Amino acid sequence: MIFSSLTFLFAYLPLTLAAYFLTSLRWRNLTLLLVSLFFYGWGEPVYITIMFLSILIDYTHGLLVEKYRDNDKKARWFVAQSVIFNLLLLGFFKYWDFLAANLSLIPGITVPQLGIPLPIGISFFTFQTMSYTIDVYRKDAPVQRNIISFGAFVTMFPQLIAGPIVKYKTVAEDLNHRVHSTENFALGARRFCVGLAKKVLLANSIGALWDAQLAAQGAGTLTAAGGWMGLLAFGFQIYFDFSGYSDMAIGLGQIFGFRFNENFDHPYLSTSVSEFWRRWHMSLTSWFREYLYIPLGGNRGGTVKTLRNILIVWFCTGFWHGASWNFILWGLYFAAWLILEKYVLRNVLDKTPAALKHLYTLIVVFVGWGIFAMEDLPVCGAYLAACFGGAPLWSALDGYTLRSYAITFGILIVASTTLGVRGWACLPEKAKKVLTPVLMALSLLICTAYLVDGSYNPFLYFRF
């Protein structure tokens, strides 16, 4: 079940809100746990057992870390056990077949592929539960002694299947003492409607263009202009798809009294690749920085170790996204650009006009989206070669396509900037109070009409 579905909007969500707010404060974590388990089990009931196992293992290990806090060696061992369990869980379900297929290429080695379906959101919730024992060990968060409350943290449906990745310490206080108010509910509902519109009206409107250009590559008719239009289409689709989903998650969290950190900050306004990754999927980059890059030594051990740490983190970032060589290549591609900016391009970029830096960043990022989107590396290579002169520059069909999508591209470009936010901030408060419910109702109505009429409603990060 995804947020941008009629089932969620008009069945699950209203019933969940009714059940939650009709429950007394004392039992709301239990209600949240039960409705979240139902949400997760809607598509894959068998994998609820994984959720129970994850809750039990990390809950008990948090208690053990707290119990042996005076014995650092034992405490560290229990943290390690928790991390190993979560990585093995993620590795078995997500990476077994990939590793088996590649190991079987070695003469004399045959490893069977199991073909087990990937549990939805496993990459997100394993990282979240890992953060718990680490935070308890570091004394960044108190141990959670109530298994129901801990279970509510692990399974919380607003961010369960696609983030943002919520560290335990971020919501530790809210789990026990969150505030419910009409204002929070209204602000959360508004944020949810914004995210729904971004997902349904913006991301879905441009996704078909990427599919068309990829099909053109397969048919051998792709041009350079068509290739770049496809990359732009995918880049806008994944941004509004994922940031829209994050907005919906943050809004739902606020309705239920939780404060989730922001996950996007207008990344396409960046003037360097480094800045882009401070603005894109911020919960993931923050997680890797805090729980991997800094423990490895960060940039404190000299140039060689810093290079090693960057490569390790970005290899893991790419591999986290999927069990395929293109994701590993995508991670290392960005590692290379980050290293170049840190050690080679820094002075050059400092002297470069902002417009050129912005253009350079967008080219690097959108080429990266090409690597990200195409798991078949020969297809990816041919597609990118077409973009850089390996195909005719232009065709009559490109002109028709550009005319057809010109208004859509214009809206997407404006929506990816801060223009809308700044324009809204300039309005008088009375105007905001009148317009907010009108725009929310209009957004919900148009999105519903789109969902009823259309069949194209993918969610790109659903498979991660």
Residues carrying an active site annotation: 321
123 to 45, 278, 291, 322, 395: CA distances (angstroms): 18, 20, 15, 9, 42
Q: Which amino acid is at 34?
A: L
Buried b (16+ CB within 10 A) or exposed e, 76-112: eebbebbbebbeebbeebbebbbeeeeeeeeeeeeee
Q: What is the C-alpha radius of gyration for the chain, rounded to an integer number of angstroms?
A: 23
Q: Residue 287: how many CA atoms within 13 Å on its side-chain side?
A: 28
Instruction: Give the span between the Cα atoms of 186 and 16, in whole angstroms.
Output: 17
Distance of alpha carbon 153 from its chain centroid, rounded? 18
Instruction: Give the span between the Cα atoms of 26 and 244, in whole angstroms.
Output: 32
N-to-C CA span, the chain:
15
Spell out the long-range contacts of 226-230 with Cβ–Cβ below 8 A and sequence spacing 24 or more: 226/386, 226/395, 226/397, 226/398, 226/401, 227/383, 227/384, 227/386, 227/387, 227/391, 228/366, 228/387, 229/398, 229/401, 229/402, 229/405, 230/383
Q: Which of 419, 455, 410, 464 is nearest to 232 (CA)?
A: 410
CB 234 within 8 A of CB 276: no
CB 237 within 8 A of CB 157: no
CB 207 within 8 A of CB 458: yes
Instruction: Give the span between the Cα atoms of 292 and 253, in whole angstroms.
Output: 27
Instruction: Give the span between the Cα atoms of 237 and 229, in whole angstroms.
Output: 12
Token pair listed for 20 = 């939650």
Instruction: Give the span between the Cα atoms of 59 and 82, in whole angstroms.
Output: 9
CB 223 within 8 A of CB 394: yes
CB 298 within 8 A of CB 317: no
> What are the residues whose beta carbons fall under 8 Å from the beta carbon of 59, sequence distance 6 or more?
144, 147, 150, 151
Distance of alpha carbon 18 from its chain centroid, rounded? 28
